[in-house]
Each structure stands twice: as structure tokens, then as C-alpha cells.
Chains A and B, each alone.
Chain A
Amino acid sequence: MSTMKLALVHTKYSLLETMRVPIAVVGNVVFPAFVLLLFVVPQSAIAADPQLATQAVISVAIFAGMSNALFSFGLNISEEREKPWDPYVRTLPISGMVRVLGYIFSIGLIGFVSLIPVVVIGAVMTAAEASAGRVVFGLISLTVAMLPFMLIGICLGYALSSKAAIAVVQVVMFSLAFIGGLLLPPALFAPWLNTLSTFFPSRQVRELVIWAVQGGDLAPWAWIGILGWTAVMLALALLLFRRDEGRRFR
């Protein structure tokens, strides 16, 4: 049985499970739209400027994607590991790769759906502008660029208990959002902070998506950084999966 086929099977049943509790899906999908409505739309200085508004919509989209990736993966996996169904699934003849891909597809799909209202609200209620082709390109680049965050979430999920995961994920998410220039634009950063920022995936993803939507030059450190973080985090996720023995008590 091929890894990809089985990963899709896991994706299907994971989505089925999620869909049976519709409010969970609604919450995930509506949250980013709320952030945009509350923090960007009312600020006319940003919302009325096409350049700034577009970047603000992109920042919210990345913030949304990042929080979905970190929260959903970190919390789902750490919770699943504490349920007795998980050790059973681990006795089935499947590799760690199947589980990890299954999580990426199912949670990634919900995260992707949550971006649609952000794009719609951005287009209708702010001065943000981009051609349809650019928006699609931006969404694709954002989807690919979410990989490092998904994998960071997976690592946290396998490394921590669910209670610890909630605390750690929040700290990690806000640190990454700040250092990546999603809360304050990097233009306001001190030079040393700006340099430090380029080493973090949140900043690298921001540059990639802005490049995809608004054009211009893409600094090599952005895509090299994303590839590097993805490779390292994938290796770490698989290592943690193999080491995992379910619940750990002292």
C-alpha cells in the first residue's frame, strides 16, 4: 500500500471526524476573517492605501495560516497521543510518514479554506489590490510556505503533553509573528532586529508571499530559509514520531 494513498485515507477520515463537529470547523475558518475585520479594516491609514492594505492582508493571511498550522498540529497531535485510539493506529502497518502527511493534508485543507474569507474581505473592504492570477499565486506560495510551521506544530505535538502544548504553542506563535514582521512591519525594525528576523520562517514566508502577490525581487535567503526549515523540521518530526511511546509519565 503506497504511502501517499494511505496518507489520503488518513486525511479523509480525519476530515470526516472534524466535520462531524461543525462548530470546530467554523471557528477555524472564521478566526482569520475576524482578525482582518477588527485590526485592519477600521484603520483607514492602512486600509485605504493599496500597497499597505495588500501587505496587511498578506500578513493576516500568514498569521492565520501560521496559527492554524501551529495550533491545529500542536494541539491535535498532543491530544491524539493521549487518547487510546492512537496507540491502536500505531499497531497498524504504517510508517510515521503516513501519519505526518495525513495531518498535513487534513489540517492544511481547513487552513486553506480559512484564507478564502480573508481574500474576499481584503478585496471588498480595503484598498488591497492584486490580479486574480497574483492572488492564486500568492495562495499557492502561502500553502507551500506553511510547511515549516506545520512541521514545527507536529514536533511540538509529539514533544509535549496537550497542556504544555497550549502554553508553548502560544509563546512560539506570537514570537514568530513578531520576529517575522507580521505584527509590526519590518520597515519599523532596528537594523539588527531586521537581520535577525531574516533567519526565521515567519519572515521568510512573508517575503515569499509578498513577492508572489506584489512582484519585485525575492531575496535568496527567503526561499533557502524555507527549504532549510522544512528539511530540518521534517527530520525532527519523523525522529520524534519514532521515539514516541504515547503518554509519558514520571
Chain B
Amino acid sequence: MTALVKLDRVSRRFGEALALDNVSLEIEPGRIVGLLGPNGAGKTTLLSLVQGLRRASSGTVKLFGGNPADARNRTLLGCTPQETALPATLRVREVIDFVGAHFANAVARDHLAEEFGLTDLLARQAGSLSGGQKRRLSVALAFVGRPRLVLLDEPTTGLDVDARRTLWAAVRRQQDAGATVVITSHYLEEIEALAERVLVMSEGRVLVDNDLSAVLDQVGLRLMRLTTSQPDAVLALGGVVDARAESDGSHTFFVQDADAVVTQVVRAGIPFSGLTVRGATLEEAFLTLTAEKGA
């Protein structure tokens, strides 16, 4: 099976800034690919190259084996507009019909509306929809043309938990129906819920390209903060990845499994006080990742 997308040593500059730094990757049909990284990591730039919106400064980008800037190579590509982008005065029905007119074999409007929970909204103007409804419409538009490859850029940012789960379910059904979905997010939770293969990006480079479970082991760290007289003893325990001294004299430890580490600290009789545990943000997880690579 040929790759849907192939990037070969691709870089993209914006003036002085290097948004993508020598990225090579292939996306094959079948698995939902999650593109995870903090803001400014290069995720959106990468998608815009695949969509043919921008050109690479160097290297080659292939979409279905051809140049993405050529309209003919985009007939099997589905993308989403930002939810603020929908033409405010057009009705939902008209927006779907407009996009559908570009594809030879578009999904029937009513069927699509049902799939994404838009049936009751078809007669409304797009500008009158709530944030969640706009998101559902935006994501639905990506699937109008029965695409083989779908690029979803931060599809659920700003949505509440219920709306997010509804959208995820719809995306999974589309994936099962044969579309390959690439999804960018800076939420680990979203990538966890959907992706099978995960690319972690930072500063224009792909740091990690692996199965979801492998990536979760690497970035799914917990932060354990406590005050102790023996920080080195804690760092030496199993499952403790890294340590950082805080300005108030306490220490923060990056740990795989906080419960297990706390148990070990107690068993080892290490004195401590002021224990707090929280999930690491992606940025923090990335920082430890990059630090490990550099070491």
C-alpha cells in the first residue's frame, strides 16, 4: 500500500523562524495518527504543507503521490475550517451543499447531518450556532467528499467534555468506515482517546514517532512535589525519571506511577512533608523528553 502522505526532509521557514526543521515521515492508510505538541511546535505548518496551502522551503511533500498544490491531488482529502471561519450568513444546509458540490461522490446532506448531530440545525445561519455546534459542522465538512485522508487541526479545543466525546465518537465511526484520520492536539487526553500512532512534535521537529502506548509511557508523567532532606534518595527510587529543585526548598520529581513511588518513599523511611501530586502538562513532559534526548 502506498503512503497517503510522504514528507522527505521538509523544512519551512517564515522569515527567520524555522517552523519545520528537516521532517521526514509517512502516513499509511488505516491508523488514526495523533500529532501532539505544544503551541508553536509546527503541527499546523505541517498540515498546511500537506493541504497545499503553503510550500516547503526545502524538501518534498507528496499527497497521494503527487503535489498537494495541484487540485487534482486533493479530491480524496478532507479538511476542517476553523470554527470561527464558517460564512456567518449562510445556513448550515447551504454550507454543507457548497462544500459537497466540489466532490463527485459527496455524502448525502441529511446523512452527514445525522452522523454529526446537525439535523435540527440545518436551517440555521452558521453565525448563530454555538461553539460546539460550529465545531461539529466544521468537522463534518471534512467528511463530505468521502475522503481517504482527513486532517483535523485541534478539532475539540474549547469544547466541554460531552461535546468532545460526541465528536470523538463521530471521528472514530468515520475512521472505521475507511478514512484515515490525522488529528493535531495539544491535549494528551484527546490523543489518548483517538490515536493509534502518535507523533510528538516540538520546535519544528518530530521528537517521537511511536504507538500510543509507547508514547504514553514517555509523556504520561506525574509530578510529585514534596519537601525532604534526602532528595537524592527519592531520585534513586524505581520509576522516578527526573528531579527539579524548587525555590522554596522543596523538590519536584517526574514519576511514571505516583502511587508506587509514594509507597516506596514511605517504605524506605525517607522523611518528607507537604506532598502534592499532579499530572504533568505536555510542556513539562516534553521538557523532560528533550532533556533525556540531549543527555
Contacts and interface: CB of A to CB of B under 8 A. Distances in A.
Interface of A: 1, 6, 9, 13, 16-17, 20-21, 83-85, 87-88, 90-95, 242, 245-246, 249-250
Nearest to A90: B53
A16 B94 contact: yes
Contacts of A20: 89-90, 125
Contacts of B77: 91, 93
Going nearest first, the 10 A-B pairs with the smallest beta carbon separation are A88-B81, A84-B85, A20-B89, A85-B85, A91-B79, A93-B74, A93-B75, A9-B101, A91-B51, A84-B82
Contacts of A93: 71-72, 74-75, 77, 102-103, 145
Given A17-B90, A87-B53, A245-B54, A92 B74 contact: yes
B53 A250 contact: no
Nearest to B98: A13
A13 B104 CA distance: 19
Contacts of A6: 101-102
> Chain B's interface: helix, strand, loop or mixed, by majority?
loop
B84 interface: yes
Chain B CB count within 10 A is highest, among A88, A91, A93, A245, for: A91
Interface of B: 14-15, 48, 51-55, 69, 71-72, 74-75, 77, 79-82, 84-87, 89-90, 94, 98-99, 101-104, 125, 141, 145
A88 B102 contact: no
B45 to A, nearest CB: 11
Contacts of A85: 81, 85-87
B61 to A, nearest CB: 14
22 contacts: A1-B101, A6-B102, A9-B98, A9-B101, A9-B102, A16-B89, A16-B90, A20-B89, A21-B89, A84-B84, A84-B85, A85-B86, A87-B81, A88-B82, A91-B77, A92-B99, A92-B102, A93-B71, A93-B72, A93-B74, A93-B145, A249-B14
Nearest to A88: B81
A1 B102 contact: yes
A66 B94 CA distance: 31
Nearest to B72: A93
A1 B89 CA distance: 26
Given A95-B71, A245-B53, A88 B80 contact: yes
A13 B80 CA distance: 19
Contacts of A16: 89-90, 94
A30 B90 CA distance: 25
Contacts of B52: 90-91
